[in-house]
Structure 1
Amino acid sequence: MSVLLEKVERGRANLKGFNPARLKSDFKNFILNKDHPCIMAKTVISMDQLEIMAYHDLGSAETAEILLKDLETYVKNYDFESNDFRTFLAVFPESIKYSEIEFEKLLWKQLEKLHKKDSKEWDHAVSSDPENDNFSFSIAGKAFYIVGMHPGSSRKARQSPYPAIAFNLHWQFEKLREMGSFEMVRDRIRERDKALQGSINPMLEDFGSNSEAKQYSGRKVGNDWKCPFLSGN
């Protein structure tokens, strides 16, 4: 283990409030008891399939190193033969309340640093170009759909108790399609989102219809929005 990694591991142990059971309980309350629209998130939480870890400093190189290690372990241990879905949740319990623009900048800064430290090739099933309709973020050789959440989000479904990044394997959505459940799950989530907030998230689109990069932070962006992540770096 590198000196930097040892330092980060020691620091994580001293995180204020870093108690996995407490953090999981807070997110369980957020998902299960506040009419959260995502039925997949509810299933993951209910079946105790949420892997949750806490980190210092959203957007830092130190966080990128330990988070990458954790995600590599997550991918290595994932059972791709099972129909059970799991979500990896990176939580930043010490972070301040960000504006939507502040959070978006830090989210992409963290993803950029993750990418720079990742030695694996981009998942060939998706594009590495955030302008491409088939873009999806790749870590440890696997495509992930990223969901940024924070208390300052304008979308109620993203107003998590602490700033957090959910990493959902893209494979899970393809598995839903294979099972013939994708459209039903998608439509049910959108119906629940509209019931919760009066409208569905305007950024939501099916994979392949537009770059999913626009969806990651949860902020409403226009057609002129440019992804801060530069593919090929």
Structure 2
Amino acid sequence: MQLPRDDTHHPRAEAFRAFIRDAGFPCVGAKSALSKGQMRVLVARDITSAWDDMRIYPALMAFAARYRQRPDLFQSFAVIFEGPGDLDEEGFERHLWDRVQSLADKDAWLGHPWDERVAREPDNPHFSLSFAGEAFFVVGLHSNASRPARRFSSPALVFNLHAQFEQLREAGRYEKLRSSILQRDEVLAGSVNPMLARHGETSEARQYSGRVVGEEWRCPFRPRGTNAGGADVR
């Protein structure tokens, strides 16, 4: 595996930071991560290819390890792909899950257990992805996203730690932060995001790509390995 490199000054990394800093961007958590210098950015070649998966995975492991050493609030790991720039919503969703599946297969091959606080079955309301033993929620962005908050010039996957949502709940800050993000997103888009739900109400897998999906939608992800996950205590 290749060791993570510093993509801080890559043009696409700079464009992504500018996107987050824009006054209209609704996620105040991402803004906090950026302002605190706690948003790690890796630039990869192509979301439709496994070319850079062996760079992304060790960088994701390193991010999880740093969080364990210093579990400060508002940390994110973003993978920005150089292309392609013309994916429709279904195409982006398909390739998002291809990349996620590839990373999860590597995690299982290395013997990392699934985070016991979450379920590993994608149709379970307590589902989350797990890498290096830490649960993650993924936010996908691309140029043809129907929601403006997900509409970035390049395909991107942002990995957010579930443990941080627990920290916010314990501090009594979660509901206020969530309400602020929802209000800002409604102002930006002109409507409430129909896919949003609290963890435990419905599988969060339905939210990853940003595409509006119906009850008939089935997540293509298949967990690997023998370590079964439990239910998230949230």
TM-score, with length taken from structure 1: 0.88
Separation in 1 of the partners of 2:23 and 2:16?
10
Q: Answer yes or no: is the 8 Å Cα contact 2:47–2:83 preserved in 1.
A: no
Partner-residue secondary structure (3-state), 1:35? coil
Aligned length: 222
Q: Secondary structure at the match of 1:165?
A: strand
Tell whether the 8 Å contact from 2:141 to 2:151 is kept in structure 1 after alignment: yes
**Aligned residue for 1:33?**
22
Structure 2 runs not aligned, ≥5 long? 226-234
Q: Determine if the alignment matches structure 1 residue 52 to structure 2 residue 35.
A: no
Greater fraction of residues in helix: 1
Tell which deviates more after alignment, 101-110 or 85-94. Answer: 85-94
Q: Distance in 1 between matches of 2:131 and 2:96?
A: 15
Aligned-partner Cα distance in 2 for 1:54–1:146: 16
Contact conserved, 1:147 with 1:166, CA < 8 A, in 2? yes
Deviation digits for residues 166-225 of structure 1, max 9, x if unmatched? Answer: 000111111110110000001111111111111121111000000000000000000000
Match runs of 1:113-128 below 5 Å: 113-118=102-107, 119=110, 120-128=112-120
- Alignment check: 8 A CA contact 1:64 1:117 kept: no
Letter in 2 for 1:208: G
Deviation at 1:25, TM superposition (A): 2.5
Asked if the contact 1:146/1:168 (under 8 Å) is kept, the reply is yes
* Residue 141 of structure 1, CA deviation: 1.1
CA–CA separation in structure 1 for the residues paired with 2:67 and 2:209: 25
Unmatched 5+ stretches in structure 1: none
Give 4+ residue runs of structure 1 displaced > 4 Å after superposition: 79-82
Distance 1:180 1:208, change over 3 A: same
CA distance in 1, matches of 2:211, 2:23: 20
- 1: CA distance, partners of 2:136 / 2:104: 12
Contact 1:150 1:160 in 2 (8 A): yes
SS in 2 for 1:55: strand
Alignment of 1:131 onto 2:117: no
SS of alignment partner, residue 209 of structure 2: coil
Contact 1:89 1:167 in 2 (8 A): yes
Distance 1:184 1:232, change over 3 A: same
Deviations 1:111-170 (A, max 9, x none): 111111112111111000000000001111110010000111000000113110000011
Partner of 1:163: 155
- 1:22 is displaced (CA, Å) by 2.8
Distance (whole Å) between structure 1 residues aligned to residue 174 and residue 208 of structure 2: 19
Q: Report whether the alignment pairs 1:147 with 2:147.
A: no
In 2: Cα distance, 1:34 partner to 1:160 partner: 15
Structure 1 stretch displaced more, 46-55 or 71-80: 71-80
Q: What is the DSSP-based 3-state SS (H/G/I as helix, E as strand, rest coil) of the residue aligned with 1:56?
A: strand
Partners of 2:124 and 2:8 lie apart in 1 by: 39
Q: Distance in 2 between matches of 1:112 and 1:95?
A: 19
Give the structure 2 partner of residue 107 of structure 1: 96
RMSD: 2.1
Bigger drift between 108-117 and 80-89 goes to: 80-89
Partner of 1:189: 181
Instruction: Supply the distance in 1 between the matched residues of 2:48 and 2:98 (Cα, whole angstroms).
Output: 5
Map of 1:177 onto structure 2: 169
What amino acid is the match of 1:23?
Answer: R
**Structure-1 separation of matches of 2:165 and 2:204:** 13
1:75 shift after superposition: 1.1
Aligned twin of 2:207: 215
Cα deviation, residue 20, structure 1: 2.9
